[in-house]
């Protein structure tokens, strides 16, 4: 028996169907992401996980959340094991799985409670499926927002919209933002589950109504493929080059000091030689995260070398470097993961310090506690990067005038607030310098590029995603790549990109969409919980 219809209980999947459905859903959701990139699998993947929780008993829902979450997260971030081994992977995937367990719990209670409301109020039967679907979408967004906040600033990976970066619906993100697009994707999957779900005799839905609802959803989904991205006015264009040094930049790479810097110098020299042979030029050159290694301004010979490259190119160079600052409050110095602008005279005053350093990688929270659990791994994190307080928008003087460059270093790219601040500070172009060397040939860099692609569409701005080893690409405001580099090769890419001004609805209204969907989820859950309580009371009296 696939479905169970116990007396007085809404229809649910049998536990021995629910758990495999959750596991399969998690696997399909992972396969939808790069590098497999079978994005259509995301919808059935999400739908199967939701079905495993739908109107389910609490104990089974918790187990299904555990199974679905683990099958997704342990596959999705398996790249974490490449250099660091299983412990960080187990820890992070475990925390993310807990969030899925909580989601399964609240989805089960909410959908079951709303079904009981339909038993108490027969007039609500018509609204049961849409009420369940929008509540579940809201609860999914609530889980995503919690996951990207807690603990230690969260982990903004694995959101429902990420597999859809190259789908026909990617333009939606420019209208509704990241949270809004996640909600719409989950809403489609939840609506299908809600409409086709078998009902108890008290709340039957006619076949005609089911067909009508599915047809209407199909029309809306197809129509959404024709929605263009929101277009911002172009003020000018810029010819940008980005250098991928193919450097040995991973934690355990055997390299000499200065080798990463040297690889990017050589890559830039090769770029300039090729441009000069064709009598061409560029307006801006971008290097990846940490490409100048430690303290570029404090190493005069290296600074002079980059300045000479800038003079030769007649273009500023945006360079990633680790910086150390000394203040009265921190006489021993504080470190930051930064990018600086270098012109023909050397390092300028333009600097951005990464606002969201990654816990357990760029700083170690509760160091003494975690050292007791894994001292060798904890001691690998030697520098404690501090969160930056400077604007993420840099000014660069180019042959086409002063350009406002928004910077999002590595995992900054997945943080919604970073996109809003770059827009508020009037970035005309987004730079995404990153170092993916620690993840080797895994699909981490492809996953990150897909997020960057969505960020370009959401912000309505071109984006330069440049890595030490790849995956590197220049993305237009509509999400199309106009230049890309083969991973693990030293090379450079050049493209003419638009400079824009203004704000897309996705950036402007994104926080409101997120708040609205979370409120819908909370209200739907509360209504379902109250209905369950009242239903139990009336059954007890009878």
Q: What is the pLDDT of residues 44-82, one digit of tens each?
A: 999 999 999 999 999 999 999 999 999 999 999 999 998
The CA dihedral of 338, 341, 345, 349, to the nearest 10 degrees, is: -70
pLDDT band at 8 (very low <50, low <70, confident <90, very high): low
pLDDT band at 305 (very low <50, low <70, confident <90, very high): very high
pLDDT band at 519 (very low <50, low <70, confident <90, very high): very high
Q: How far is the CA of 294 from the CAs of 269, 338, 384, 412, in angstroms?
A: 21, 10, 14, 20
Answer whether 299's CB lies under 8 Å from 347's CB: no
Q: Which helix (H) or strand (E) holds 446?
A: helix 444-459
Look at residues 347, 285, 295, 288 and name the one whose alpha carbon lies nearest to residue 320. 288
Integer Rg of the chain from CA:
25
pLDDT given at position 493: 98
Q: How far is the CA of 530 from the CAs of 17, 74, 114, 374, 523, in angstroms?
A: 28, 36, 9, 45, 11
pTM: 0.95
Q: What is the mean pLDDT of the chain?
A: 93
DSSP string, 288-354: -TTTT-B-GGG-HHHHHHHHHHHHHHTS-EEEEEEEEE--SS-TT-EEEEEEEEEETTEEEEEEEE-
Tell whether the model's pLDDT for residue 203 goes beyond 80.
no
Residue 347 and residue 175: Cα distance in Å, rounded?
38
What proportion of the chain, given as a percentage, has pLDDT over 70?
Answer: 96
Long-range pairs of 444-447 with CB within 8 A, sequence gap ≥ 24: 444/77, 444/79, 445/469, 445/470, 445/471, 445/487, 446/34, 446/35, 446/37, 446/471, 447/33, 447/34, 447/76, 447/157, 447/162
Residue 295 and residue 177: Cα distance in Å, rounded?
37
| Alpha carbon 286 to its chain's center | 22
Residue 65 and residue 85: Cα distance in Å, rounded?
25
Tokens linked to 235: 């003020």
Say how many CA atoms lie within 13 Å of 393 toward its Cβ.
Answer: 14
Tell whether the model's pLDDT for residue 537 goes beyond 70.
no
pLDDT given at position 248: 93
Answer whether 79's CB lies under 8 Å from 443's CB: yes
Q: What does the pLDDT look like over 216-247, one tens digit per residue?
A: 888 988 989 999 999 999 999 999 999 999 99
pLDDT given at position 201: 57
pLDDT given at position 176: 98
Q: Is 401 left (phi over 0), alpha (psi -120 to 50) or beta?
A: left
Tell whether the model's pLDDT for residue 119 goes beyond 90.
no
DSSP designation for 492: E
pLDDT given at position 382: 79
pLDDT band at 288 (very low <50, low <70, confident <90, very high): very high
Q: For 341-367, what is the mean pLDDT?
A: 94
DSSP designation for 359: B
Pairing of strands 463-467, 472-475: antiparallel
Tell whether the model's pLDDT for residue 387 goes beyond 60.
yes
Q: How far is the CA of 450 from the CAs of 165, 291, 357, 532, in angstroms?
A: 6, 22, 21, 42
pLDDT given at position 439: 93
Say how many CA atoms lie within 13 Å of 477 toward its Cβ.
Answer: 25
pLDDT given at position 31: 96
Other CB atoms within 10 Å distance of the CB of residue 441: 13
Look at residues 142, 108, 104 and name the one whose alpha carbon lies nearest to residue 25. 104
Q: How far is the CA of 231 from the CAs of 227, 280, 336, 478, 506, in angstroms?
A: 12, 30, 35, 8, 12
Sheet with 346-353, side-by-side order of all strands: 346-353, 334-343, 317-325, 284-286, 234-244, 491-500
Judge residue 135's burial from the number of C-beta atoms within 10 Å of its C-beta, 0-12 exposed, 13-18 middle, 19 or more buried.
Answer: buried
Answer whether 434's CB lies under 8 Å from 465's CB: yes
pLDDT given at position 204: 62
Residue 69 and residue 104: Cα distance in Å, rounded?
9
Other CB atoms within 10 Å distance of the CB of residue 133: 25
Tell whether the model's pLDDT for residue 518 goes beyond 70.
yes
pLDDT given at position 542: 56
Residue 187 and residue 19: Cα distance in Å, rounded?
22
Q: How far is the CA of 268 from the CAs of 311, 462, 468, 489, in angstroms?
A: 12, 22, 13, 13
Q: For 174-202, what is the mean pLDDT?
A: 92
pLDDT given at position 48: 98
Sheet with 463-467, side-by-side order of all strands: 393-398, 401-407, 429-434, 463-467, 472-475, 481-485
pLDDT given at position 121: 85
pLDDT given at position 242: 98
Residue 129 and residue 115: Cα distance in Å, rounded?
9
Longest dimension (CA), the chain: 90
Q: For 355-383, what is the mean pLDDT?
A: 86
Q: For 467-489, what is the mean pLDDT?
A: 97
| The Cα angle at residue 248 between residues 355 and 319, in degrees rounded to 5 | 40
């Amino acid at each position: 028996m696939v479905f169970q219809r116990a007396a007085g209980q809404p229809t649910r999947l049998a536990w021995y169907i629910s758990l495999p459905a959750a596991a399969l859903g998690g696997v399909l959701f992972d396969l939808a992401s790069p590098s497999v990139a079978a994005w259509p699998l995301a919808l059935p993947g999400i739908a199967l996980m939701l079905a495993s929780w739908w109107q389910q008993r609490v104990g089974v829902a918790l187990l299904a959340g555990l199974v679905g979450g683990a099958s997704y997260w342990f596959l999705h971030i398996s790249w974490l094991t490449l250099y660091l081994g299983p412990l960080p992977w187990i820890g992070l995937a475990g925390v993310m799985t807990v969030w899925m367990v909580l989601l399964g719990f609240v989805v089960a209670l909410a959908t079951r409670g709303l079904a009981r409301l339909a038993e108490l109020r027969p007039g609500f039967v018509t609204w049961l499926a849409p009420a369940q679907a929008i509540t579940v979408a809201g609860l999914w967004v609530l889980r995503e927002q919690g996951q990207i906040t807690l603990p230690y600033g969260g982990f903004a990976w694995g959101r429902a919209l990420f597999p859809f970066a190259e789908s026909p619906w990617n333009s939606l993100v420019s209208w509704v933002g990241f949270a809004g697009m996640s909600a719409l994707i989950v809403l489609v999957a939840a609506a299908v589950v809600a409409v086709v779900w078998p009902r108890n005799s008290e709340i039957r839905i006619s076949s005609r109504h089911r067909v009508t609802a599915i047809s209407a959803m199909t029309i809306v989904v197809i129509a959404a493929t024709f929605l263009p991205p929101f277009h911002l006015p172009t003020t000018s264009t810029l010819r940008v080059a980005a250098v991928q040094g193919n450097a040995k930049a991973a934690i355990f790479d055997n390299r000499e000091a200065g080798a990463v810097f040297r690889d990017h110098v050589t890559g830039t020299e090769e770029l300039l030689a090729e441009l000069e042979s064709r009598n061409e030029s560029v307006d801006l050159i971008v290097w990846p995260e940490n490409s100048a290694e430690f303290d570029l301004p404090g190493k005069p010979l290296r600074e002079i070398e980059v300045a000479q490259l800038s003079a030769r190119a007649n273009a500023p160079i945006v360079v990633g470097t680790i910086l150390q600052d000394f203040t009265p409050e921190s006489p021993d110095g504080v470190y930051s993961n930064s990018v600086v602008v270098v012109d023909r005279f050397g390092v300028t005053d333009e600097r951005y310090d990464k606002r969201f350093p990654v816990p357990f990688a760029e700083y170690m929270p509760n160091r003494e506690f975690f050292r007791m659990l894994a001292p060798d791994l904890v001691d690998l994190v030697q520098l404690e990067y501090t969160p930056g307080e400077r604007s993420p928008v840099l000014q660069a003087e180019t042959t086409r005038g002063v350009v406002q460059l928004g910077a999002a270093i590595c995992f900054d790219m997945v943080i919604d607030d970073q996109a809003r601040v770059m827009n508020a500070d009037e970035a005309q172009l987004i730079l995404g310098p990153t170092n993916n060397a620690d993840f080797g040939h895994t699909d981490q860099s492809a996953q990150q590029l897909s997020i960057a692609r969505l960020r370009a569409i959401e912000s309505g701005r071109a984006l330069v995603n440049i890595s030490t080893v790849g995956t590197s690409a220049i993305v237009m405001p509509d999400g199309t790549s106009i230049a890309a580099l083969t991973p693990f090769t030293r090379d450079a890419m050049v493209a003419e990109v638009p400079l824009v001004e203004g704000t897309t609805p996705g950036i402007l209204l994104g926080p409101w969409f997120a708040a609205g969907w979370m409120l819908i989820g909370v209200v739907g859950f509360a209504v379902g919980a109250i209905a369950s309580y009242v239903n139990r009371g009336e059954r007890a009296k009878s």
